[in-house]
Amino acid sequence: MTAVVDKFIKYVQFDTESDTETGLTPSTPGQMVLAQELVKELEEMGMSNVSLDENGYVMAVLPSNIDKKVATVGFVAHMDTSPDFTGKHVRPQFVENYNGEDIVLNKEQNIVMKVTDFPDLKMYKGQTLITTDGTTLLGADDKAGVAEIMTAMEYLLNHPEIKHGPVHIGFTPDEEIGQGADFFNVEKFGADFAYTLDGGEIGELQFENFNAAYAEVLFKGRNVHPGMAKDKMINSMQIMQEFTAQLPKDEVPEKTENYEGFYHLLGMEGSVENSKLQYIIRDFDMDGYNVRKDKFETICKDLGVRYGEENVILQMKDQYFNMREKVEPVKYIVDIAEQAMKDVGVMPMIVPIRGGTDGSRLSYMGLPCPNIFAGGHNFHGRFEYVPVDSMQKAVDVILKVVDLIAKK
């Protein structure tokens, strides 16, 4: 196995699933355990200024080995995995010389990754894929990014003949729950600009993403024996149904693409007396984003008039915004990444992120931060996979970005 694969397989063994309910940073203890392991490895390989703070943020520096001043570049990845699907006891599997056909992930449970469901598989015929065993997610989002950054730094340290400027790296907790930049110290990090390596198939290069909000709608009712309920019972689940019925049925993730926004129902629970909906709201355009949030407020206000304001409660907060506004003034950093990909034989695909990265918030915190592919597919579920070649190419892109900056 290559160095990047060895590191990736090691990191996915750590259970780092984040959790929206704890109110802590990091939100789960496993993230700190992985952070401590990364600190150990960084110190052993010879990185400078290695640090781990109480919130689980890892930072380190590769000092310049050239005698001229060049920009300080950063690379960032997140350590947590999605709470949408278990990341505990990950058992990665290798599919060598992939034949382009369906992949049996788990024979006992008859879990099969079908080409008809995931046609992107055909792109990787003849390559080696790393998949799940069908019972967990894989963790390529974003332990592939972590492994790629670590591998690139180790390579530069082992090859001092390669000239480079200062390189700063950072690993964050809780990106998957929108909190990855909450305590990121941009001043301490000290880079002029950075790149996240987060998700995305080979060649993806992104500097625009959704504007994002999280919303919970709480519904309260009144329970009365159903035989005597006329004009007395208020069924909170019925109010909840009325809410969902007023949202556009086609503006959901499974029916949208490219620059189309959506409302995504994450969860629901209910009884006659108490019910709750959890949504994320996404739109690339700020005006469209505000319209979507206004839609939630209007529906809740109307239902409140009918059932009582105290019975329909909306809790909504912004999570992050489209980084394009902050990256476009320094578009040359996107051009560097694009040239790096071309130089290592990767065809760049400049596409919008239908999601978010730490980079979107970091860009608004003063650290312009486009996203470079980490190579994975089908994140947050049992059908996640990553081609080995894609991870190696991501390492090559990091090295080439550093090289191009040193030559400026």
What pLDDT band is residue 199 in, cutting at 50, 70 and 90? confident
Task: Tell me: pLDDT of 18 over 80.
Answer: yes
Unique residue bearing structure tokens 């909170």: 236
Task: Tell me: pLDDT of 29 over 80.
Answer: yes
CATH 3.20.20.450 is the classification of domain 211-320: no
Q: What per-residue confidence (pLDDT) applies to 1? A: 67
* Spatial separation of the C-alpha atoms in residues 31 and 81, rounded to whole Å: 9
Q: Other CB atoms closer than 10 Å to residue 186's CB: what's the count?
A: 16
pLDDT in tens, 380-402: 999 999 999 999 999 999 999 99
Mean pLDDT (the chain, rounded): 96
* Spatial separation of the C-alpha atoms in residues 190 and 185, rounded to whole Å: 9
Task: Tell me: pLDDT of 173 over 90.
Answer: yes
What pLDDT band is residue 138 in, cutting at 50, 70 and 90? very high
pLDDT in tens, 69-119: 999 999 999 999 999 999 999 999 999 999 999 999 999 999 999 999 999
Question: Which stretch of DSSP H or E encloses residue 358?
Answer: helix 358-364
Task: Give domain limits for the chain.
Answer: 3-209+322-406, 211-320
Q: What per-residue confidence (pLDDT) applies to 62? A: 98
Unique residue bearing structure tokens 């999280």: 214
What pLDDT band is residue 364 in, cutting at 50, 70 and 90? very high
- Report the candidate in 276, 272, 289, 375 with the shortest Cα–Cα distance to residue 324: 289
Q: Which residues carry out catalysis? A: 80, 175
- At position 331, the amino acid (one-letter code) is K
What pLDDT band is residue 208 in, cutting at 50, 70 and 90? very high
- Gyration radius from the chain CA atoms: 23
* Spatial separation of the C-alpha atoms in residues 147 and 91, rounded to whole Å: 17
Q: ω before 92 within 30° of 0 (cis)?
A: no
Q: What per-residue confidence (pLDDT) applies to 357? A: 81
DSSP letter string, 306-349: HH-GGGEEEEEEEEE--THHHHGGGTHHHHHHHHHHHHTT---E
How confident is the model over 342-363, as a mean pLDDT?
A: 93
How confident is the model over 165-190, as a mean pLDDT?
A: 96
Share of the chain above pLDDT 90, in %: 96
What pLDDT band is residue 296 in, cutting at 50, 70 and 90? very high
**Do strands 211-220 and 111-113 pair parallel, antiparallel, or not at all (unpaired)?**
unpaired
Task: Tell me: pLDDT of 55 over 70.
Answer: yes
Task: Tell me: pLDDT of 361 over 70.
Answer: yes
Q: What per-residue confidence (pLDDT) applies to 278? A: 96
Superfamily holding 3-209+322-406: Zn peptidases (3.40.630.10)
Same fold, 3-209+322-406 and 211-320: no
